[in-house]
Amino acid sequence: MIMLLFYIFLLIGLSQCREHEISINEETPIDTIIFDLNSLSTTVITYQLLESSSLLHFNSTTNLISISKRIDRDTLCPNDDQCSKCYLTIKLYDMYYYDILLLKFKINDINDNQPIFSSNTYSISLTENNMPEMKIRLSKAEDIDCFINGVQLYELTYVYRNRVIVSSVNVFQPQPQNQTNQPFYLLYDSNAELYLVINISLDRELQDEYIFTITANDQKYATSTKLTLTVLDVNDHNPKFSQSIYTVNISQSTPMGTILIKLTAYDADSDDNARIYYSLLSIDGYKIESNDRNELFQLNSYTGELTLLSKLDHLDTKNIFKLVVGASDGTHNAIPALTTVYINVQTDLFNSDQSLIQITFGSNRVSKNFTEVYISENLPNATFIAYIKSNPNLQLLTHEGFFLQKLTENSFTLLTDRSYDRETRSSYNVQLRNGNIQRNFQILVTDVNDCKPQWNSSILNIDFDQFIHLNEAIVLTLNATDEDENSRVGYRKKSTSWPQSISLISNQLILNCTVEGNETNNDCWFYLANGEIWLDIEAYDLDNENFSSVIKIRLYRSS
């Protein structure tokens, strides 16, 4: 027996090896017959199994080879990206021909895995004012299938200027040229790296964040991830004052420590780049150095508050001061924003033992002769109108629209007692009396765009019969009213369907059933007159289109 086995192994060692290659797909079901050895010869041959993968089963009785366990190419050959080196082998000894038969089963990949990003969200930050065509390398999606079944396409989706933009790049084809005109697009280079190309110069003040959806597609499965691009601020804006000139009216007896005005400048940058510092640069043309201290006014460099440092009753001949104030954001050698503050000092006409009325309107806009003060509508109740100095005998002769609030024994504030509505009432008369002295001025309510256009009615009925005999176009003028000052009203169609013979141009509704030569188009009139036609027209505020109202127009025949 031992000699027989020795003889067989000796034959094996001297035998030639025949090879056959068979292709099978991964994930082929267990027990599937993948090869019949009987197909190799017309003679019944007995085979002796020499070597075999544990994933395969050889039936020596039937000479059939089948799958015994799950075959997952991606696990079996994880480094075979090109799908060219993944084999299962089985080696048999042919007892008829006395040679070795080697069967090589090539495992074909199927697209059974979807691409996977390493994270559901990614974040990158970039300072504004970048050079266009900047490239940022992105993390690619991983697909453990072989290359041909891996990621084929990357797609970029984002919103830019209220428009959805979608661009894509195929990993097997050159970059399309038309994408270079887009603000952002994907680039897949020759080194198999994926990049986001930023094709614009970013401006944080216009948009401080962009959100992209990146989708990896292998032609069967698609996976997406979110990319957030945060635009970091660069100090590229100078402060600006809301006004170039401010006017403050005070009296000679205005107390020391009074805050005359709070100046405000704005900077479109963010955080530390928007921190504003105020400085008093000159008084009446005389330059104020950083270490100088004047005796009249003090400017808080952080809040912009201008404070009176001393009484002005000794300055009998001085009734106006011109102050130049600068605002900067701390940038070295930056050019500051400038504004001019005029301080008007009103002479006290009466001694302290006599009745007097001194009025300071603060930063409210007033007329040159101080007989009119302008207050905007829609401001809240108790809005400041004026600061008044007088003795306790001060009387308010008119009370509608305002009230006096006592601050000290000899000082008051005049405040609104309601939120003004210019469309309801545009002016209020103020009368103050102390003994024989009376001061009068008028409050003028300034307009805010807060009214929507209104129609005289919600439905307008138009009878065709009064027009059907005319051989010309009929023009109807629409007239919605807006009670705001200097209001501008526009008109537009709201109906989903609109007859071709009816047009809307500006505020004119035009019914035109004529043809060339001013002849009547009877078919047109028949269409218009064959039942009722309803049209919706919207009147809207040209300065704020959210303010609008709709009228329904009914076209009909009475006969």
Q: Report the Cα 92 to chain-centroid distance in Å.
A: 70
pLDDT at 7 exceeding the cut of 60: no
- In a 3-state reduction of DSSP, which class is residue 471? coil
**Pairwise CA distance, residues 298 & 308, whole Å:** 7
Superfamily of segment(s) 116-232: Cadherins (2.60.40.60)
The model carries a pTM of 0.44
**Pairwise CA distance, residues 103 & 143, whole Å:** 30
Banded model confidence at residue 521, pLDDT cuts 50, 70, 90? low
Kindly report, residue by residue over 210-251, the tens digit of the pLDDT: 999 999 999 889 999 999 998 887 666 678 887 888 888 888
> ∠ CA 475-480-486 to the nearest 5 degrees?
115
> What tokens does 554 get?
């009914």
> What tokens does 442 get?
């008028």
Kindly report, residue by residue over 253-268, the tens digit of the pLDDT: 788 888 888 888 887 7
**Pairwise CA distance, residues 136 & 181, whole Å:** 18
Q: Which residue has the tokens 């032609």?
A: 219
* Virtual torsion, Cα 405, 410, 411, 416, nearest 10 deg: 30
Banded model confidence at residue 4, pLDDT cuts 50, 70, 90? very low
Q: Where are the domains of the chain?
A: 12-108, 116-232, 254-334, 358-446, 454-556
Superfamily of segment(s) 254-334: Cadherins (2.60.40.60)
Kindly report, residue by residue over 426-484, the tens digit of the pLDDT: 999 999 998 888 889 999 999 999 899 999 999 988 887 776 666 677 888 899 999 98
By residue count, the chain amounts to 559
Kindly report, residue by residue over 138-150, the tens digit of the pLDDT: 888 888 888 888 8
Q: Fold match between 254-334 and 358-446?
A: yes
Mean per-residue pLDDT over the chain, rounded: 83
Class of domain 454-556: mainly beta
pLDDT at 28 exceeding the cut of 50: yes
Q: For position 528, what pLDDT does the model report?
A: 61
Please, are residues 109 and 76 in contact by the beta-carbon 8 Å criterion?
no
pLDDT at 86 exceeding the cut of 50: yes
Which residues does 184 contact at the CB level (< 8 Å), separation at least 6?
A: 156, 158, 160, 165, 167, 196, 197, 198, 199, 200, 210, 212
Sheet of 163-170: strands edge to edge? 121-127, 222-232, 209-217, 153-160, 163-170
**Pairwise CA distance, residues 539 & 493, whole Å:** 9
**Pairwise CA distance, residues 446 & 438, whole Å:** 26
Please, are residues 114 and 221 in contact by the beta-carbon 8 Å criterion?
yes
Kindly report, residue by residue over 271-293, the tens digit of the pLDDT: 666 678 888 888 877 777 666 66
Q: How many CA atoms lie within 13 A of 170 on its CB side?
A: 7
Superfamily of segment(s) 358-446: Cadherins (2.60.40.60)
**Pairwise CA distance, residues 352 & 313, whole Å:** 12
pLDDT at 171 exceeding the cut of 70: yes
> What tokens does 319 get?
């009734």
Class of domain 12-108: mainly beta
